[in-house]
Structure 1
Amino acid sequence: MSRPDKSIDPRILASAQEEFLTHGYEKASLKVICANANVTTGALYKRYKGKEELFSAVVPPTLNDLEEVAKQRRSLSAKDVSDEDLIKAWDMDEEYMLWWFRYLYDHQKGMLLLLTCSHGTRHATFVHDWPKMITKYSYEYYAEAYRRGLTAVKMEKTELHILLSSFWTTIFDPFVHKYNWKQIEEHSTIVCKLFDWYTVFGFKR
């Protein structure tokens, strides 16, 4: 029995990525993807049931990397974190903020797929799902800080979700608008000034 030719898989994914980036999911053509990858439509359908499954095969590297970073950030339970670190978690450190922008800048094609090309797929709600996930873990840190008396500000999870949704919009939108790196550096400084979480929660600096 002959073994399937795995060498064409990267060509299909690379061609699909460019087609989705150029035309978006709904207008992307499987025929064009196959032609640019120099494969038959039969070869593509042996690997993917259809266009959405192919799109879902293109975005995992970016999604997996983002989720891994988030996982590292929540490696410690809020109850196991010191008072100092509970407060520091909300510090808008310019160096760390710039690290996030650099990280996303290095994944900008994947980010554009999720942010601007995913309409019609199960990934279309990414811009809502990501802040929702971040809110879940961020609220645990806030609630623990409140329990310890580090902040007297009473905030519902819905309110924090709204604020974090706005926060992540300011992070994602520069990629939608195709900022260059110099513009992103300048934007990062503005974001740090705009979202002063220490003031929001009344933390002592």
Structure 2
Amino acid sequence: MKNSTDTQKKLLETGKKEFLKNGFKSASLRKIVKDAGFTLGAFYGYYKDKESLFDGLVEDVSNEMFTSFKKAQDSHFDLIDSEETINSTKLSTEYLRYFMDYIYDNFEQFKLLICCADGTKYENFINDLVNIEVERTTEYYETLRKLNKVKGNINKQLHHMLTSAYFTAVFETVAHDMAKEEALGYVEELALFFNSGWESLISFK
């Protein structure tokens, strides 16, 4: 919102309150505009519809999340060249901490993405992250297998199910409005639990 006009900022703030309270589908555009103190005509001078207002609240954070997440995936491949693939699990946990910091720095936007986005292009936000994770991790395992640096196997369906369960559990911190310190402790234990399970199926050499 830093480059928005005062009118846009008012609409965004009022829209955020309405979306957080009622979710995108049930949010009233008329109420947003009225509570912001403007007319529908003024609104349409800045946004073409209710979803574009929602975009204005979450688009930057969503894009940054996906960009950083893809970079995190790429960084695992860097471990191959440095022959440090044994540290793959450790690196994943470090990135989890980084992403938790980012989530809590932008908590309301993630609340919108996780809990209020039904009916928008963001409604599959978690699943989209899961699909990236499964695709890139499968590629990583296949590369390591050719180099004899990993043992064990997992089929794609189970891989997707476990990853989906893990990511959903991580974002429960947002869904349940956990305080940051509580959430950090929660995901540390969650990572230990899931990492132990993964290592029983696939381990790095």
Q: Which runs of 5+ in 2 are unaligned?
A: none
Cross-structure match for 1:99: 98
Contact kept in structure 1, 2:79 and 2:85, CA below 8 Å: no
Give the Å deviation of 1:92: 6.5
Distance in 1 separating the partners of 2:130 and 2:60: 19
Contact kept in structure 2, 1:87 and 1:145, CA below 8 Å: no
Distance in 2 separating the partners of 1:147 and 1:159: 22
Give the stretch that moved more between structures: 96-105 or 58-67.
Answer: 96-105
Contact kept in structure 2, 1:90 and 1:198, CA below 8 Å: no
Q: Which runs of 5+ in 1 are unaligned?
A: none
Distance in 1 separating the partners of 2:53 and 2:92: 38
Paired residues for 1:35-184 under 5 Å = 35-75=34-74, 78=77, 81-82=80-81, 84-91=83-90, 96-184=95-183
Give the Å deviation of 1:63: 0.3
Contact kept in structure 1, 2:85 and 2:204, CA below 8 Å: no
Q: Specify the SS of the correspondent of 2:14.
A: helix
Cross-structure match for 1:200: 201
Deviations 1:178-204 (A, max 9, x none): 111232132022112211144431225
TM-score, structure 2 length as denominator?
0.85
Deviations 1:14-68 (A, max 9, x none): 2211210111111211122112322211111222222122222221122022012
- Hey, which of these two has a bigger chunk of helix by percent? 2
Cross-structure match for 2:33: 34
TM-score, structure 1 length as denominator?
0.85
Distance in 2 separating the partners of 1:39 and 1:134: 43
Contact kept in structure 2, 1:114 and 1:123, CA below 8 Å: yes
Q: Specify the SS of the correspondent of 1:152.
A: strand
Q: Which amino acid aligns with 2:72?
A: R
Distance in 2 separating the partners of 1:76 and 1:94: 13
Q: Specify the SS of the correspondent of 1:91.
A: helix
- Judging changes above 3 Å, is the alpha-carbon distance between structure 1 residues 85 and 130 closer, same or farther for their aligned structure 2 residues? same
